[in-house]
Amino acid sequence: MRVAGNPTKQQLREECIVNDRWEAPLIKVQSLAYIVLQRPDVEQAARFFSDFGLLIDERTDSAVYLRGVSTAHQMMVIEKGAADIPRIGMLAEEADLETLAARFALPICQHSEALGGRYVRLEDPDGLVIEVCSGLKSLSPLPAQPPLPQWNGAGDNKVRVNQMARNPLRPAWVYKLGHTVRSVASMQASLNWYQQTLGMIVSDFQFLPGDPLPVVAFMRCDCGDKPVDHHTIAIGTAPLLGHMHSAFELDNLEELLIGNRWLADQGYSHSWGIGRHVQGSQIFDYWREPKGEVFEHYVDGDVFSAAEATGYHLFNSEAQHQWGPEITADVTGQNRPLQTLRSIARRLFTQDDITVGRLKRLLKAVNS
């Protein structure tokens, strides 16, 4: 039901000052392929992600390459360096690499042997490097895993007969890198860039009341009729700029619960969950790795074709999840007041989206 004074979806759409898609983008990326982490202690990071469910596939002098159970391609590279997430890889057609190279006068580079294929190196408006890739190396199939016992339903819906449910604790089996979420300096600049350069479509916007500039945009790839994840890249306005979380897909709820117990038993820091999101519908579970970045296990996300229209919604605490624990101070940043205030103080003297008025509305919305 509409709360008195709150705008309708139609009003939010009419007042919105940014596009939800671009008619003729330069290229259309197909999916997120990998994320590159730089960490001072590569082995510590590799241990966390092994417990998170990724598998160490290759090691070189300069990097560790991790995969999931899929044979598609590597999904994470950990390099030695100051703690940072400087690059991501996205998949595109080989012809798209030629288009980008010609348009921006950039070279088409050869990837490391471990990743394989070729890429063009772009930078988004906030300086995140996006390696648009083609021909990433396929991986060898893993030894077959024993299937999880099926679930018996209620009443006569019993499919597991004379067989007990035994699922020993272990790291979850991860299938793919699904999405990454970042806080950006300018929603307008980022939306223009991701739509015009990479062909991304906004699945859902979220707005603060009375503000025509969205504070969150969930963007998916445009693969025409082929259904794709509700969001592959999401961007938002938040006090701290940069990486907010990246998410990996599991097959089912029991995997997520086993993964949760395993990570808790290893002593890692839980961030938020288990719950079900609203936009994208994923059942989610958020964890912090040792250097403080958040990574998510998720199952049962929505998939859309390019035909699905963009949704327009208000941003508030209820807009983030359908059920599960309330959003935590760890996610909102309210448990890191000094770091948050320092960032806000710096940004108030710039021309980016953080203003005193928007900050007040954000704080009110997140606690409403």
Instruction: Give me the residues that bind Fe ion (CB under 5 A), please.
Output: 247, 296
Please list the alpha-helical segments (H only) found in the chain: 9-15, 42-52, 94-104, 187-198, 253-265, 329-332, 337-347, 356-366
β-pair partners for 181: 234, 245
Rounded Cα–Cα distance for residues 210 and 179 (Å): 29
- Choose between 73 and 321: whose C-beta lies nearer to Fe ion: 321
Shortest distance, position 88 Cβ to Fe ion, whole Å? 14
Shortest distance, position 90 Cβ to Fe ion, whole Å? 17
Shortest distance, position 334 Cβ to Fe ion, whole Å? 19
Shortest distance, position 129 Cβ to Fe ion, whole Å? 21
- Choose between 231 and 361: whose C-beta lies nearer to Fe ion: 231
- Choose between 289 and 296: whose C-beta lies nearer to Fe ion: 296
Shortest distance, position 301 Cβ to Fe ion, whole Å? 9
- Choose between 247 and 258: whose C-beta lies nearer to Fe ion: 247
Q: Indicate the residue whose CB is closest to Fe ion.
A: 247
Sheet with 84-91, strands from edge to edge, namely 55-59, 63-67, 76-80, 31-39, 84-91, 129-134, 118-123, 109-110
- Choose between 118 and 277: whose C-beta lies nearer to Fe ion: 277
Which own/partner contact pairs does 113-121 have at CB distance under 8 Å and 24+ positions apart? Answer: 113/137, 114/57, 114/58, 114/60, 114/63, 114/65, 114/74, 114/77, 115/34, 115/65, 115/73, 115/74, 115/77, 115/89, 116/73, 118/94, 119/89
Residue corresponding to tokens 């016992």:
149
Shortest distance, position 144 Cβ to Fe ion, whole Å? 30
- Choose between 96 and 249: whose C-beta lies nearer to Fe ion: 249
Residue in 270, 271, 359, 282 with CA at minimum distance from that of residue 320:
282
